[in-house]
Structure 1
Amino acid sequence: MLLRKIGVENFRQLRGEFYCSEGLNIIFGRNGQGKTNWMEAIYILATGSSFRTSKIQETIAFDKEIASIWGEVLQGYDIERFLQVFIEKKRRLFFVNGKRTSIENYLEEMHAIVFNADQLEIVRGAPEARRKFLDSSIVAIYPAFYKTLSDYNRCIKQKNALLEEAQKRELPKSYVAERIEPWNEQIIHLAYRIHKARIRYVELLNEILKEKLFAFGEEEVSLRYVSSLEGKGDLSNYESLMRERLDLRLEAEMAVGHSLVGVHRDDMEIKINGWDVRKYGSSGQQRSVLFLLLLANLTIYRGRTGRYPLFLIDDIDAELDYMRLERLLAFLDSRSQTFVTTSKESFMERFRFMGRVFMVEDGRIFS
């Protein structure tokens, strides 16, 4: 997979377009000039979402109604694609070779993996970051999973609206139970599918991690999916157990005004040499574990699609020492097209032989 060219219009403060190197692309410039914005544009083109904000409409330039990102992509030796993402105030539109398509179909075209400071939340932050990591990874190889997640979140939102109403109006339990049952049945069905997909993906990650394909230390890294239903009954009969827990927790849900049962409360345990990396891992170990997870993701994507994703490293100055960086870039060199941002001339001079340097100034990018 190769991003040959990318351009933007009305996206943040960026202007213009640029042709990308097949290998390493070093995006250099002073802070505040737009380096991260260009990385964000590449990521949105590849995944349809931003790694910086959940409100993608925030990327539309001031006083504009719509932003667009477009790119020329080469898949294999002779399959060319022209991809476009339009961002409006209330929706996104996706186009492949000039024809509008669904996000599920669009996500089959390309993918990108990003490393930055915020991604460290996967290793050391709250469960939400690990759930998001798993879900976005699964969507990358099974785009239809996007609809499963969307349907689940929609059902939870509708259920929460009912629970909030019940809390405010002090509605009787029998009335609430009757109204909420149809949503619970959908939630049970969708949660089971999400639960199975996440467990299977964790198994895939563990298989890759055991092979030790990546030279980032000798630590043993292991993962375990932790269901919020764990310890509450027989997980092998997941749907029945969840139905039982939903019935038992209805009064508590009515009291707090939101859902307390479901896969939106699950987690993934990450251990290094048998210890919880979130609690006991050093900052260096946490960074190494994150890289191992991202490279395992890259390997799984390659195995499922036959293509390597783009690999983006934003603000490399803050997050990596040169020893880890050299190992990483050596691994990626013959695999993924790589983009890194830096404000340090020393980094630019040291690694420019591996690819191409681009300068960013006031939102414009040039080589």
Structure 2
Amino acid sequence: MYIKQLQLSHYRNYENVTVAFENKVNVILGENAQGKTNLIESIFVLALAKSHRTPRDKELITWEQDYARIEGIVERRNGSLKLDVIISDKGKKVKLNHLEQRKLSEYIGSANVVMFAPEDLNIVKGAPQIRRRFLDMEIGQINPVYLHYLGKYQKILQQRNHLLKELQKQKQNRVMLDVLTEQLVEAGSKVIERRYEFLQLLQSWAETIHFDISRGKESLKLEYKPSIDVSEKTELSKIEQVFFEAFEKIVDKEIMRGSTLIGPHRDDIGFTVNEKDVQVYGSQGQQRTTALSVKLAEIELIKDKIGEYPILLLDDVLSELDDFRQSHLLHAIQGKVQTFVTTTSIDGIDHQTLKEAATFIVTQGDIEKVK
């Protein structure tokens, strides 16, 4: 798949631009603070209806404007799709081929993207919530029903936490707590099941890619670390059983703290290289190779699942990688993935992929193709 055309209206520092892209590497060139990352972000928002940079949609709207709009034509193997995201003070609308979609889960997956930016190196060394967010975004693209269960889980979690705080203040009948716990287990177990499945698939791709990048010297393992001990119990009924039993043991502690202490909202991922925790003991080079391996594995996993490659967004990431990792990344995508690369300069990046790329200059919210 690839983006054929993108139109931005009142989006960040883009007042009104329309640009056609090519189904190959597209280099977005410009000085800092001109709008390169905003452009990459808009493609991400077009696909996932949310930003990777901010949870506040209003920040995407140009100052003193009422709305922002992103329109795109995406070519897929089954034909063209018209995608449309409109953000205003009243909320967010998404349209697919001009028809408004009532649920985001019915829209997400129409275009698939993989983002790799400097902050994505924190997938390895950052806080657990970064890895949970990574899981949620990537699984949601290839399994939209996951977003339904995740949204349901988060809503029930909020209600349960509120009730736990109320039970702190005054002793009440716990019947409502039991009801919410049962609902939370049902939705949460389905989230856990799908996370397990996704990480097993990602592991199979990432291990091979990491072995290749490290020239056969390192073996990468990904480990799902749920907050409940489900071990190898990956069947849904067994996950639910363990989940229930865990809640029974800690309910008094939860009331005392006024918070739900276990569940997918506390899950994590572990990374080991040659059986050592790369998050703790890995060098910066090993951490970066791990992050790169995971991102390249995402591309192959999505291709395997949906039958075509996703769109790759590389936001100022080449400057963060050494020559060898740069070369491996560019070689891996050459000729098969539509890619957007933002950079202030391609000097010093001597690779055939960039020499054959389409180049666009961004200046103060205006974008122009280099002929």
Q: TM-score range by the shorter chain?
A: over 0.9
Identity %: 30
Partner residue, 1:14: 14
8 Å contact from structure 1 (residues 44, 50) kept in 2: yes
Structure 1 pair 317/163, CA: closer, same or farther in 2 (3 Å)? same
User: Aligned pair 1:355/2:352, yes or no?
Assistant: no
In structure 2, do the counterparts of structure 1 residues 326 and 347 end up closer, same or farther at CA, with 3 Å as the change threshold? Answer: same
Question: What is aligned with 2:220?
Answer: 221
- Give the Cα–Cα distance (whole angstroms) in 2 for the partners of residues 265 and 255 of structure 1: 18
The alignment partner of 1:346 has SS state of coil
Task: Give the Cα–Cα distance (whole angstroms) in 2 for the partners of residues 233 and 201 of structure 1.
Answer: 15
| Partner SS state of residue 249, structure 1 | helix
TM-score by length of 2: 0.91
**TM-score, structure 1 normalization:** 0.92
CA distances 1:2-60 after superposition (whole Å, capped 9, x unpaired): 10111111111113121112111111111111110001001111222211112223211
The one-character-per-residue Cα deviations of 1:241-290 (angstroms, maximum 9, x if unpaired) are 22222233222222222211212111111111111111011111111111
Distance 1:254 1:89, change over 3 A: farther
- Partner residue of 1:67? 68
Deviation at 1:61, TM superposition (A): 1.6
Give 3-state SS (helix, strand or coil) of 2:213's partner.
coil
Question: Cα distance 1:339–1:242, how it changes in 2: closer, same or farther (>3 A)?
Answer: same
Which residue pairs with 1:364 in the alignment?
366
Deviations 1:147-205 (A, max 9, x none): 111000011011112223333xx211x43x22222211110011111111111111111
In 2, distance between residues paired with 1:291 and 1:25? Answer: 20
- Matched-pair contact (CA < 8 Å) for 1:235–1:241: no
| 1:333-356 CA-partner distances (Å, limit 9, x unpaired) | 122100011112515786642211
Residues 357 and 235 of structure 1: is their aligned pair in 2 closer, same or farther, counting only changes over 3 Å? closer
Amino acid aligned to 2:75? L
User: How do 1:168-179 and structure 2 match up within 5 A?
Assistant: 170-172=169-171, 174-175=172-173, 177-179=174-176
Equivalent position SS for 1:10? strand
Equivalences for residues 195-344 of structure 1 within 5 A: 195-212=192-209, 215-217=212-214, 218=216, 219-230=218-229, 237-344=238-345
SS in 1 for 2:313: strand
Question: Per-residue CA shift, 1:126-166, capped at 9, x if unaligned?
Answer: 21112222222211111111111100001101111222333
Task: Tell me, yes or no, if structure 1 residue 25 matches structure 2 residue 26.
Answer: yes
Q: CA deviation at 1:317?
A: 4.9
Task: Tell me the equivalent position of 1:183.
Answer: 180
Give ranges in structure 2 of 5+ residues lacking alignment.
none
Q: Contact between 2:118 and 2:317, CA under 8 Å: does it hold in 1?
A: no
What SS does structure 1 have at the residue aligned with 2:50? coil
Contact 2:209-2:297 within 8 A present in 1 as well? no
Give the C-alpha shift of residue 212 in structure 1.
3.8
Change (3 A) 1:262 1:56: same
In 2, Cα distance between the equivalents of 1:214 and 1:312?
Answer: 24
Kept in 1: contact 2:47–2:109 (CA 8 A) = no
Aligned residues: 362
Give, in whole Å, the separation in 1 of the partners of 2:163 and 2:256.
12
User: 2:105 maps to what in 1?
Assistant: 104
1:192 aligns with 2:192: no
Rounded to whole Å, the distance in 2 between the matches of 1:52 and 1:327 is 27
SS in 1 for 2:286: helix
Judge which range, 198-207 or 242-251, deviates more: 242-251
Residues 329 and 214 from structure 1, CA distance in 2 versus in 1: closer, same or farther, beyond 3 angstroms?
Answer: farther
